[in-house]
Amino acid sequence: MHYRLALGAVATLFACKTAGMQETNPERGASSASTGQASQIDENAKRMVAQGRDIFRDDTFGSEDYFGAALKLHQAIAGEKNGGVGGGVSPKTALSVGLKVDAERVPGPVAAGIKSGAVSLDDPASTLALLKVNAVVGVKGMFQGDRLSSLGITCAFCHSTVDDSFAPGIGKRLDGWPNRDLNVGAIVSLAPDLSPITKLLGVDEATVKKVLGSWGPGKFDAELNVDGKAFRPDGKAAATLLPAAFGLAGVNLHTYSGWGSVTYWNAYVANNEMQGKGVFFDPRLDDRSKFPVAARTGFGHRKSNDDRITSKLAALQFYQLAIP
């Protein structure tokens, strides 16, 4: 009898302790916390991809102050009949220099009009209509009413193309794919005022246009505005192929020459190539023997009071790393 009571007491005590362990098991708590953190990580990843995509596709970083206010490129695109200068740039001309159109942003009636011919691809007004719905890949127009008042460029200008599913040059976006049809030099040459470039390089307009004309489709000289060297020792253009912005996961030094990381290059391009508003520091550009233009202009020490770049670099890189 005493044996049975003792055995029962032990069994009861063991059961209570086991139940207590199940309620306070630290591993169960850790598992629950881990599940909560995993959800937070997933949500954060989704948020950063969405933010990064928006930045990559649509953020000008304030570059409209250069391409619009300084170069006045928007005036050449609009044409005199639409409040600009010259004959304007039709969609056909824009496509011929490699600009692309995001078919998914073209309103249905406009798309139908393009198919039927009711919307003329020879009319600069049609270009303005596409810019107004933000359908020109990498080019963002600023409007005052129906008048194109300025424009800026985004990362997608050089680093996105389309699949031509609607028509040549018009289709669904391919983010991260370098636009090897894009003739950057020809586009910049359209600017009514090239004085920001002539003053930077210390040359006349004819020389600037000669240099821009030497690049050709799919190429850009990312060092011209820091070293002032438009041509290689063999006399060929110094421009290089536009690089891809996909498949960068695990890549440390992004540029052809190993000059810097993905984040560094994003900051460099946004500040010094796109002429956006941000903060950029690299004392290597102070070397007057290698980078006379950058040393003279302080390209390695840029600081805008209206920084529209730095806070966006993390999400931008996250999106680029997510592009397979």
Structural domain contains residue 43: no
| Angle (deg, nearest 10), helices 313-322 and 26-58 | 100
CB 265 within 8 A of CB 282: no
User: CA quadruple 20, 25, 26, 28: dihedral positive or negative?
Assistant: negative
CA distance 236 to 272: 24
User: CA quadruple 221, 226, 231, 233: dihedral positive or negative?
Assistant: negative
Structural domain contains residue 185: yes
If DSSP codes are grouped into helix, strand and coil, which group holds residue 152?
strand
* Domain, as residue range, for 126: 48-322
Structural domain contains residue 2: no
Structural domain contains residue 178: yes
Structural domain contains residue 37: no
Which pTM does this prediction carry?
Answer: 0.88
pLDDT greater than 50 at residue 311: yes
Structural domain contains residue 141: yes
Q: Using one digit for the tens of pLDDT, what is the confidence trace for 214-266?
A: 999 999 999 999 999 999 999 999 999 999 999 999 988 876 677 899 999 99
Q: Using one digit for the tens of pLDDT, what is the confidence trace for 165-200?
A: 999 999 999 999 999 999 999 999 999 999 999 999
Structural domain contains residue 156: yes
pLDDT greater than 60 at residue 26: no
User: Mean pLDDT, the chain, as a whole number?
Assistant: 92
Closest CA to 138 of 166, 181, 99, 103: 99
Q: Using one digit for the tens of pLDDT, what is the confidence trace for 55-89?
A: 999 999 999 999 999 999 999 999 999 999 999 99
For the residues 103-123, what does the mean pLDDT come to? 96
Q: Which structure tokens are listed for 93?
A: 């001309």
Provide the CB-side half-sphere exposure for 207 (13 A, CA).
Answer: 14
| Total number of domains in the chain | 1
pLDDT band per the 50, 70, 90 thresholds, residue 98 = very high
CA distance 69 to 212: 20
Structural domain contains residue 6: no
